[in-house]
Amino acid sequence: MSIHYPGLRDRTVIVTGGSRGIGAAIVEQFVLGGANVAIADVDAQGEKLAERWRVEGHDVRFYRCDVSSGESIRKLMEAVEQDYASVDVLVNNAGIFPRGDLQSTDEALWDRVIGINLKGVYLMCQAVSPLMIRQEKGVIINIGSMHSAKGEDNTMAYAVSKGGLITLTRNLAHALSKHRIRVNCVHPGWVASEGEVARWESMGSDMDKMQPAIQAIPLGRMQTGTDIAHTVVFLSSDFADQITGQMLAVDGGGSIRKPL
Ligand SMILES: NC(=O)c1ccc[n+]([C@@H]2O[C@H](COP(=O)([O-])OP(=O)(O)OC[C@H]3O[C@@H](n4cnc5c(N)ncnc54)[C@H](O)[C@@H]3O)[C@@H](O)[C@H]2O)c1
């Protein structure tokens, strides 16, 4: 199967956190759109994923990279530039979502969440944007969260990290517009990704126990990684050539529902 999104065929895309979950679904949609994809992730499962796509004739490569480390990103970019020469689209998807309120969030947890979810995005944008500036065109998509706009006690550092992404998105959208680099942010609603299911399991919960919350979603279901990926690929394509600095929630109406 292939999907036609103008401006993506044979382009090079970096997807951070592309080894599994929402990131793997984003990789799939770019591959189906004819792009070459570099997966940047700490989880070596991405190597197997890349191999599976290569067997089917697609150019997908895995690079081990910790986005919270400038040195790791420097090595990533050295390898990606050698393999592809340019980068057209950067999807900052890597993220962690451990729970913690003000008192239970210690300094180490705060640093880890902010380091991956926010500093990692700044570092990736800083590393990739010179390549985009060189070609006077590019797209950056940041994966945010509706928690950025919610006061939920036990997502303190996470919510702040995703709130920071909104500011970063707007700031960079303006700063990079003179180079025709568009920067947008996609807020997934609720996806049963590997990371989310592991979180449920750690609290002794599962899909059945989540049903009341799922049924409260106005459009009646959780989102899939593919729901999020379709929006990411649309925003990366020439269909979205005049869209920058925007936040788009893909949440089945979760953000406009009446409180439970
Ligand atoms: N699942 C949801 O309901 C949901 C909702 C809103 C936002 N999000 C956001 O979507 C993104 C993807 O989440 P997911 O649900 O697919 O989670 P996931 O845990 O299934 O996948 C996250 C991926 O990021 C990678 N990663 C983690 N730390 C990294 C690091 N330091 N460097 C490089 N890669 C790293 C992991 O190895 C993994 O492959 C995250 O930014 C998350 O905050 C998810």
Please state, rounded to an integer, the average pLDDT across all residues of the chain. 96
What residues are paired with 184 via a beta bridge?
Answer: 141
255 located within any domain = no
Q: Is 124 in the pocket of ligand 1 (CB under 6 A)?
A: no
Distances (CA, A) of 119 to 48, 124, 160: 28, 9, 12
Return the best residue to mutate from 42, 142, 150, 200 for the ligand 1 pocket (most ligand atoms within 8 A of CB). 42
Number of residues written out for the chain? 260
pLDDT at residue 238, as a whole number = 97
75 located within any domain = yes
Same-domain status, 34 and 73: yes
Q: Average pLDDT in the 85-94 region? A: 97
254 located within any domain = no
Same-domain status, 117 and 203: no
CA of 94, closest atom in ligand 1: 24
Same-domain status, 86 and 196: no
46 located within any domain = yes
pLDDT band of residue 260 (cuts 50, 70, 90) is low
pLDDT at residue 57, as a whole number = 97
Domain with 211, as residue range(s), is 192-222
Same-domain status, 86 and 207: no
Same-domain status, 34 and 131: yes
pLDDT band of residue 12 (cuts 50, 70, 90) is very high
Q: Average pLDDT in the 140-166 region? A: 95
Q: Does the structure show a pLDDT above 90 at 151?
A: no
Same-domain status, 216 and 241: no
DSSP state of 224: -
Same-domain status, 172 and 211: no
CA of 162, closest atom in ligand 1: 43
Same-domain status, 217 and 239: no
> Helix 120-135 vs helix 156-176: angle between axes, to the nearest 10 degrees?
20
Distances (CA, A) of 178 to 38, 112, 126, 142: 26, 33, 16, 19
Same-domain status, 210 and 179: no
Known active-site residue 158: yes
Q: Give alpha helix (H) positions in the chain.
A: 21-32, 45-55, 70-84, 107-114, 120-135, 156-176, 194-202, 211-215, 225-236
**Structure tokens, 100:** 């913690």
Residue closest to 60 by CA, chosen among 13, 16, 101 = 13
pLDDT at residue 3, as a whole number = 73
pLDDT at residue 14, as a whole number = 99
CATH at residue 34: 3.40.50.720
pLDDT band of residue 182 (cuts 50, 70, 90) is very high
Q: Is 24 in the pocket of ligand 1 (CB under 6 A)?
A: no
170 located within any domain = yes
pLDDT at residue 225, as a whole number = 98
Q: How many domains does the chain have?
A: 2
257 located within any domain = no
136 located within any domain = yes
256 located within any domain = no
Distance of CA 129 to the CA centre of its chain: 17
Same-domain status, 170 and 211: no
Q: How many CA atoms lie within 13 A of 188 on its CB side?
A: 27
Same-domain status, 48 and 173: yes
Nearest CA to ligand 1 atom 7: 145
Contact criterion met (CB below 8 Å) for 222 and 214: yes
Sheet holding 247-250, edge to edge: 60-64, 36-41, 12-16, 89-92, 138-143, 181-188, 247-250
Q: Is 193 in the pocket of ligand 1 (CB under 6 A)?
A: yes
pLDDT at residue 220, as a whole number = 95
Tens-place pLDDT, residues 39-56: 999 999 999 999 999 999
Same-domain status, 114 and 200: no
Return the best residue to mutate from 15, 20, 22 for the ligand 1 pocket (most ligand atoms within 8 A of CB). 22
pLDDT at residue 145, as a whole number = 98
Helix (H) or strand (E) holding 219: none
